[in-house]
Amino acid sequence: MGVTENYQRIAAQVAARAQECGREADAVRLIAVSKTVEAPVVELAVQGGANDFGENRPECLVEKAQAYPDSTWHFIGNVQSRRVKDIVAHASLIHSLYQERHARKINDEAAKIGKVQDVLIEVNVSGEESKGGCTLDQAQELAQLCLELPNVRLRGLMTMAPRADEQAERLTFSGLAELHGKLKAAMEPADAAVFDELSMGMSEDWPVAVEYGATMVRIGRAIFSDSF
């Protein structure tokens, strides 16, 4: 199976799964996580209809976004202060914001280029030490800060579930959805109206995430790896 076919197969599965869960076929955006492949391979996914791509290293984001400017690029990796400028220059959406100082830095860099940067707050719902993201309490404070920054637009939440443990996946995804509802309910209508994204689900657990309301799934290996 090639990347083009993999992409098409997963896209069809995601649409079918959304409908199975009582949602619209196009309710879930498929983000092809191209972090493990060289830039030319991205073309194969584009041929399969891919429009959204995710990268976790700023230098790879810059390289691939420049090579494929018509695609939409998502930053899903660790934010570092000194790379914020590059990330803001190329990312349509930053999924992995979880520190206040980075929110301020994103705001500053976005202001310099006249951009309003869309962001998601990454939440470590499961509390696993190996995972990035803030606590549920910190998310509330960080959301408040984001709403006060004029060049940052808070679009939703992101999380990663523990691997290969379906019960923990369910708790993680339902926990993120619950936090989303709680934060949204406390927002002004204009802020609540654009706070509509839940980025959750990867190659192994995306069908469960779609059940709990994922609006974006980030899939890498199932599209780009021969051995998945």
Which residues contact ligand PLP (rule: CB under 6 A)? 33, 35, 56, 76, 160, 202-203, 218-222
Candidates 144, 138, 174; CA nearest to 159 is: 174
CB of 186 to ligand PLP, least distance (A): 27
CB 165, min distance to ligand PLP, A: 15
* Cα maximum dimension of the chain: 48
Least distance CB 14 / ligand PLP (angstroms): 12
CB nearer to ligand PLP: give 180 or 218: 218
Q: Name residue, tokens 């940052």.
A: 152
Shortest Å, Cβ 205 to ligand PLP:
8
Residue 211 CA, distance from chain mean position: 17
Taking 3-state DSSP, the helix, strand and coil percentages for the chain, each rounded to the nearest 5, stand at: 50, 20, 35
Q: Kindly state the smallest distance separating residue 84's Cβ from ligand PLP, in Å.
A: 17
Which helix (DSSP H) or strand (DSSP E) does residue 31 occupy? Answer: strand 29-33
In angstroms, what is the minimal distance from the CB of 218 to ligand PLP? 4
Fill in the amino acid letter for 69: P
Q: 103 with 118: CB under 8 angstroms?
A: no
Residue with CB nearest ligand PLP? 220
Distances (CA, A) of 213 to 26, 107, 130, 139, 143: 12, 28, 25, 19, 20
φ and ψ at residue 216, rounded to 5 degrees = -140, 130
